[in-house]
Amino acid sequence: MTFSPFWLASENKPYDPESYSRGWNYGAQLNFMVPMDYSTVRQCKDIAKRVEEKMRVDYELVRALKCAELMQKGFTLRPNSRVEHMCNDVVPIVSVLETKTMSTLSNRVAETARKDAEAAAKVKAANAPAPQPKSTEENK
C-alpha cells in the first residue's frame, strides 16, 4: 500500500489587468498492490534467504580470520569474559592433524592387535589335539 499526497496550484492572469485568477487543488492518492501470482514473493524470499546465508558465512569467516590474527600476534580473549567463546573453536591446523593422526594410529594398532588375536585363536584351534572318544568301560 502506498499513500501519495499532492498539491496542484495554478495562476491565471488574463489580458485585463484588473482580473486575476488563482486555483489551488489538494488531494491524496492511495494505492493497493496485489500480486497476481505469488512467484515474485517466493523469489524474493529465496533471495533474502541466500543473502542471509551469505552474511552468516561472511561473519564466520571474518570471525575466524580475526581470531587467528589475534593468536598470531600472541593475544587471546580473557578467560571467563563475555566474549571468550568467540574464539574457542578456532584452532591451529597442526593440533587438528595431530589429533587425527593419533586417533588413526591408535585405530591401526587396535586393528592389528585384533587381527593378531584372531590369527592366534585359529592356530591354537588347529593345533589342539582332537578329543578322544570315551571307552565303554569308563561309562560303566
DSSP state, residue 83:
T
42 within domain boundaries = yes
Total residue length of the chain? 140
Element (H, E) at 101: helix 93-127
13 located within any domain:
no
Q: Please report the beta strands in the chain, taking only residues with DSSP state E, as ranges in sequence order.
A: 2-12, 21-31
Report residue 102's pLDDT band, with 50, 70 and 90 as the boundaries.
low
Burial pattern 119-136, b for ≥16 Cβ within 10 A else e, equals eeeeeeeeeeeeeeeeee
Q: Is residue 138 part of a domain?
A: no
User: Is residue 118 one of the residues assigned to a domain?
Assistant: no
Evaluate if pTM is beyond 0.85.
Answer: no
Residue-wise pLDDT for 116-139, tens only, equals: 777 777 777 777 666 666 655 555
Tally the domains of the chain. 1
Q: Can you tell me the distance from the alpha carbon of 11 to that of 13, in angstroms, rounded to the nearest whole number?
A: 7
Range of the domain at 74: 36-111
Ramachandran region of residue 80, left (φ > 0), alpha (ψ -120 to 50) or beta? left
Is the pLDDT at 80 greater than 70? The verdict is: yes
1-41 pLDDT, tens digit per residue, is 899 998 888 877 777 777 777 788 889 999 998 877 888 88
What pLDDT does residue 109 have?
66
Checking phi first, is residue 35 left (phi over 0); if not, alpha (psi -120 to 50) or beta?
beta
Domain-located, residue 9: no
Cα–Cα distance for residue pair 1/31, rounded to 1 Å: 5
Classify residue 134: in a domain, yes or no: no
82 domain residue, yes or no: yes
| Cβ-contact 27, 50 below 8 angstroms | no
Helix, strand, or coil (residue 38): coil
pLDDT for position 5: 92
Q: Are 53 and 28 in contact (CB under 8 A)?
A: no
More confident residue, 2 or 101: 2
131 in a structural domain: no
